[in-house]
Amino acid sequence: MIENLIVVDFDKTLVPFDSFRKFIFLWIKKYPFSLFSILILRKLKILSVGNFKKLIIKRVVRNRKFALINDTFSNSLFEAVNTDVKKKIINELQQNTTVLLLSASPDVYVEKVGNKLGYKAKGSFFDLDQRFVHLFGSLKIEYLKKHYPRERFNYLYAISDSNSDIELLNMFIKSDLLNK
């Protein structure tokens, strides 16, 4: 049986802000010296966004308080969910529908928020070979096609705020590109 699929972007869509930016500031407040060099490298454009995220995540997950801080942060994101976007998702739901939260933000908190909402969720992650997969642009589409193939899913509805997701949005029967 073919399932319906709804795909939802996270930052500036399901939550009304850039969650990774908040994540970074949270960790800088708590442990400024551990992230300073990474921030400088990104500011000087020596690091790409993907490599920046990879290094930040690698650094913070080693912190002994990571689980507690990440749970608190994830809960705050859950509380910030945009109710208008959630209503749009509910309006598009049909019988036998999977909702997938798909984001370039890190899986360490995207998955937690998705689970609290009852959605499947995937954010940027480390694969089995410990390579960082930055789910942005074409990599989102690649992930979607691999894990949610058209043979098993009817691409029903997608919503995003980003022009980088236009190709993804065009794959769906119905889509919304939110104004910034």
Helical H segments across the chain, by residue range = 19-30, 32-43, 49-61, 66-79, 83-92, 107-117, 138-147, 166-169
| Backbone phi, psi, residue 62, to 5° | -80, -15
pLDDT in tens, the chain (180 residues): 899 999 999 999 999 999 999 999 999 998 888 898 999 999 999 999 999 999 999 999 999 999 999 999 999 999 999 999 999 999 999 999 999 999 999 999 999 999 999 999 999 999 999 999 999 999 999 999 999 999 999 999 999 999 999 999 999 999 999 975
pLDDT reported for residue 180: 57
pLDDT reported for residue 54: 95
Secondary structure (3-state) at 75: helix
pLDDT reported for residue 22: 97
pLDDT reported for residue 78: 98
pTM of the entire predicted model: 0.94
- How many other C-beta atoms lie within 10 A of the C-beta of residue 39? 16
The CATH code that applies to domain 3-15+82-177 is 3.40.50.1000
The type of residue at 47 is: L
Task: Give domain limits for the chain.
Answer: 3-15+82-177, 19-76
Burial 124-163 (b: 16+ CB within 10 A, else e): bbbeeeeebbbbbbeebeebbeeebeeeebebbbbbbbbe
